[in-house]
Chain A
Amino acid sequence: MEMLPFILATVFTAATPLLIAALGEHVTERAGVLNLGVEGMMIVGAATGFAAAVLTDSSVFGIFAGALAGMALSAVFALMVLVFATNQVATGLALTIMGLGLAGLIGQGFVGQPRAAIPPVSIPLLSEIPVLGKAIFTGDFVFFLSLVLIGFVAWGLNRTRFGLLLRAVGESHGSAHALGLPVKRIRLVAILFGGLLAGLAGAYLSLIYTRFWSPGMSAGRGWIALALVVFAGGHVWRLVLGAYLFGGITVAQLHAQAGAIGLPSQFLSALPYLMTIAALLFLSISGRKGAGAAGSLGQPFVPER
């Protein structure tokens, strides 16, 4: 039992970058835009965040710089798909490839430089709850920020006027446009928010999760975030569940190995992905298609004049 808080803390750090990036992409997709560039924005956030942290000697500043870098890259995506109405899938893929290259360039002078950890934050009183208190209420500030973001996204999408408009635009951009809603402006906000969070997730990787920069260090986490959004099928709570489940299984399988449980480690490593596929199948078979993706997801919006 004494291991549990440590294990939980590991699960939270493993799940947080996935959760943050997926929350951003969730908002983008709710507005009807599919941005496959999450991996690219994430890695640029990681490189820029680390570079900024070294240059200013402030990891906290680096975190925010990384987030802004992700947003800057998403602005390029917004320009392409909103102004020039390019194919979203192709543009998103291009963004990932460009991001991976760009990140290598940005991080070039910073490879192999170590950085000290950001001191953890403890919530007074709550962190003194026996056993689990310390695990849940002591962590890095981005972890707590991610908890706030969950609430913010859920509340913003479902309980505010802007959220309603955003979802309306995502459901049917034609109708929204006919009603006089500023489709492109709302989508711009959604895309930039997605980029901001992807960049934040990236900076989390290079400044908190593993504290150094190395090209390719995102190792496909942007794609996992995209899969989580599909897994969530439009519900924030399911997205949160998915992220922690994914982080949990990843960590649990490592523990199973270290504890010499006789299961092949390759199978255990693949388990999180198998779970995602199983969840997708389950969602599909249970036939709740209406709860899935936004109606105009991925379609370029070209208003008739």
Chain B
Amino acid sequence: MSRTGILAAFALSLGVAAPAIAQEKLKVGFIYVGPVGDFGWSYQHDEGRKAIEKAFPGRVETTFIENVPEADSERSIEQLARTGHKLIFTTSFGYMEPTLKVAKKYPNVMFEHATGFKRDKNVATYSAKFHEGRFIIGKIAGKMTKTNTLGYVGAMPIPEVIAGINAFYLGAKSVNPNVKIKIAWANAWFDPGKEGDAAKALLDQGADIITQHTDSPAPLQQASARGKLAFGQASDMTRFAPNHIMTSIIDDWAPYYVERTRAVLEGKWQSQDVFDGLAKGKVKMGPYVNMPEDVKTLAEETEAGLKSGKIDAFMCPVVTQDGKTVECKGGDRLTDEQVVSMNFYVQGVEGTIPK
């Protein structure tokens, strides 16, 4: 499939429109920020695309364009809209403004933007509570670290990533008050070389556990090469470091994609915002391995607590880096709205958020 994707990307980048084939099938388009072979973020979205094809045989046709840079995504999105796609999933935060812009021009096309917070009549948003998974791996990391220093490879300083860092740190601190976190930004979602270098820098600075919010298995692999523990991101990355991975945070978009495609087929699609996680199965945890039994039990209990809603990564009071208490809008925890727009580090995280 990646062949078609690459060819499509080239056809589009050269401004060549694919010949429109007249047919009844619903055309569903996808824009990916990395290659489907990243074995992380884009790979999981593509699994969702395949699930649509499987769920509606003969009734839908799907297309994807991979490796679409966020800053230059408008023409790729518009290309899909122009070639008869009626439902378009744009699967990275940076596609937010381009998606809205194209959506204005094509009021009859339905758009679904992942991880964003701006909607329109024909633009829905959806995201997953990855931070729930990060809270769990934070607890594991807090228990497992010997140097009390955790390394975090970040991609871009956007709310989704910031919330992940905070959730991870809060999880770690809840079991280990002395824990410290070091953050290195790769400033790329997908650049295996640089992601790996960032992990190495963190290890050199004394981190003995690596976690990542970038798309390739490189940080995990580099940690493993030094005999250090790490986590998988977006998909189950066990195969890349079977002896050093402790679990993976797995995104499962398939049920949502199938549901939204069905809504379009039945004419019931409406703009909405969906933000769910472990409870609905959109976020799943990989097997808990390479850790002692008590840590595994802690992880499982945390997972169960998050699933039932009994606990939350952001229970009040949440205190920011500079000592201010965040307004508690959700009763005993922060609201989803506060999480998706999070732009502060919690108390104890060092460094400043790159602006």
Interface of A toward B, CB cutoff 8 Å: 3, 6-7, 10, 14, 17, 97, 100-101, 104-105, 107-108, 111-114, 117, 205, 209-217, 219, 221, 250-251, 254-255, 257-260, 262, 264-266, 269
Question: What residues of chain B lie closer than 8 Å to A112, measured between beta carbons?
Answer: 37, 39, 43, 239
Within 8 A of A (CB), among B154-184: 157, 182-184
B176-198 CB mask vs A (1 if < 8 Å, else 0) is 00000011111110111111111
Using a CB–CB distance below 8 Å, which chain B residues touch chain A?
2-3, 5-7, 10, 34-35, 37-39, 43, 66-67, 151, 157, 182-188, 190-198, 200-205, 207, 216-218, 221-222, 225, 239-241, 350-352, 354-355
- CB of A269 within 8 A of CB of B187, answer yes
Nearest neighbor of A97 in chain B, beta-carbon distance = B10
Task: Check A254 against B184 for contact (C-beta < 8 Å).
Answer: yes
Partner of A3 from the list B3, B35, B205, B352 (CB cut-off 8 Å) is: B205
Instruction: Kindly state the separation between the CA atoms of A214 and B40 in the bound complex, as whole angstroms.
Output: 11
C-alpha spacing A163/B59, complex, angstroms: 64
Chain A positions within 8 Å of B182 at CB level: 258-260
Whole-angstrom distance from the CB of A214 to the nearest CB of chain B?
Answer: 5
Contact between chains at A264 and B355 (CB < 8 Å)? yes
CB-CB under 8 A from B239, the residues of chain A are 112-114
Residue in contact with A221 in the complex, picked from B193, B195, B204, B350, CB distance below 8 Å: B193
In the complex, A259→B198 CA distance in Å?
A: 12
Contact partner of B354 among A3, A10, A97, A266, CB < 8 A? A266
- Whether A108 contacts B3 in the complex (CB less than 8 A), given A3-B205, A6-B204, A10-B201, comes out as yes
Jot down 13 A-B pairs with beta carbons below 8 A, ordered by A.
A14-B197, A104-B3, A104-B35, A112-B39, A114-B240, A212-B217, A214-B216, A215-B66, A219-B188, A219-B193, A251-B197, A258-B207, A259-B182
Assuming the contacts A101-B10, A217-B193, A258-B202, asked whether A265 and B354 have C-beta atoms less than 8 A apart, the reply is: yes
Let me know if B35 and A215 touch, CB within 8 A: yes
* Separation of A111 and B241 alpha carbons in the complex (Å): 15
Inside 8 A of B207's CB, which chain A residues have their CB?
258
CA distance A108 to B222 in the complex (A): 24
Closest A residue to B192 by CB, please name it: A210
